[in-house]
Amino acid sequence: MYSIGLDISKSSVNVYVPLGKLDLEIANTDKAFKSLYSKLKKLYKKEIEKVVFVFESTGSYSALLYRFCAQKGIMAYMPNPKQARNFAKAIAQRNKSDKIDARVLSEAIVVAKENEIKVPTIDPLVEEIKEFMVYYRLKVKQRTQLSNHLESLSTKEGSKTLCRTIKAEIKALKKSEDKIIEQVYAIIEKSKNLKEKYNAITSIDGIGKIGGIVMLHLFIKYPHANQRQIVSLAGLDPVMRESGTSIKGQTRISKAGNRLYRGTLFMAAMASTKHNEKMKAFYERLKANGKHTTQAQIAVIRKLIVVAHSLYKSGEVYNKNRYKISTGVQLKA
């Protein structure tokens, strides 16, 4: 196989072609991809079918290239951002530029599993869910900003007229969010596969409709991530700040993933510690061992993601007996 590294940004793509050691920069457009592919055909000739495009799965920026590969039948390997960063560290590549990143991605083919190198397929329903969830994130962000502004106005006893206006806007945004969730749920219902996976996730006590949809979106967005990576991609992986004996801070979460996942799953964790016997016992055991409330809640969120991801992969429903050991629960006979 011949791996072509492509580092994608909003408007441009840096390309590394091992044959001839070519460093190229092209526009992130369909026309530019067609021109690149024509150039590769001339370079690789009969071997063109062995060419693999290696690029990060970066949401909207990589969507056009993903679709191009699907249409042209080009094999692709798409490591998630965490995998790409870890590979760069593994080969001791500390320098970073768009050109270097393209070269690193070209080399990353060595860690790809056989089933991860394939021609992308486009599921219209999955793509539609992704689009709706991007819009949902936008609405949530707008509502959060308005809520923060309203709190600021209320604190300093600002204009009551303006406060009423903002409250009405917040209410309208919440209705819009609810409508989007219902639209996404309607899409899920159209697909037997998606509905089974959604049902598997929501079979966990405490995971409701919004939590189930948000986790389903997280898992379909990063289909090849393992459990540790999926926790990291949600921004819930622990980060320790420590340097010698002079600097030693508390462990915190990276917050590297999308805020939507953490915010929604925080509410799911709160519900689970009330309604899920296993998660409640897990939370209480952590508190009894001296963990701060926030630390215990984050641990519950991680546990929920790991369990939900396992159910998503297997299609099985939640079995309380299966997870009793990991949560430290002794079930009654």
**Do residues 163 and 153 touch, judged by C-beta distance below 8 A?**
yes
Q: Do 242 and 221 touch, CB atoms closer than 8 A? A: no
Buried/exposed code over 117-134 (b: 16+ C-beta within 10 A; e: otherwise): beebeeeeebeebbebbe
- HEC readout, 176-192: HHHHHHHHHHHHHHHCH
Q: What's the distance, Cα to Cα, between the start and end of the chain in Å?
A: 56
Query: Nearest CA to 182 among 144, 132, 218, 220?
Result: 132
Q: Give the number of other Cβ atoms within 10 Å of residue 107's Cβ.
A: 17
| Regions in the chain scoring below 70 on pLDDT | 59, 94-95, 237-258, 320-333
- One DSSP character per residue, 254-315 reads ---S-HHHHHHHHHHHHHHHHH-HHHHHHHHHHHHTT--HHHHHHHHHHHHHHHHHHHHHH-
Q: What is the pLDDT of residue 243?
A: 45
Tell me the domain boundaries of the chain.
2-116, 124-190, 219-327
Integer Cα distance of 316 and 201 in angstroms: 9
Give the pair of three-digit tokens for residue 216. 């389903």
Instruction: Write out the two tokens for 235.
Output: 């921004």
Structural fold of domain 2-116: Nucleotidyltransferase; domain 5 (3.30.420)
The backbone torsions φ and ψ at residue 142, rounded to the nearest 5 degrees and listed phi first, read -65, -40
Beta strands in the chain (DSSP E): 2-8, 12-17, 22-27, 51-54, 75-77, 238-239, 242-243, 247-248, 252-253
pLDDT of residue 164: 94
Cα–Cα dist 230/129, whole Å: 19
Q: Order of strands, edge to edge, in the sheet holding 2-8?
A: 22-27, 12-17, 2-8, 51-54, 75-77
Query: What is the pLDDT at residue 250?
Result: 59
Q: What does the pLDDT look like over 45-55, one tens digit per residue?
A: 999 999 999 99
Q: What is the pLDDT of residues 131-160, one digit of tens each?
A: 999 899 999 999 999 999 999 999 888 899
- What is the reported pLDDT for 323? 53
The count of other CB atoms within 10 Å of the CB of residue 287 is 15
Model confidence, pTM:
0.74
Q: What number of CA atoms fall less than 13 Å from residue 234's CA on the CB side?
A: 31
Give the alpha-carbon dihedral of 293, 298, 304, 305, to 10 degrees: 180
14 vs 314: CA distance, rounded Å: 37
Other beta carbons less than 10 A from residue 111's beta carbon: 14
Dihedral pair phi/psi, residue 27, rounded to 5°:
-75, 150
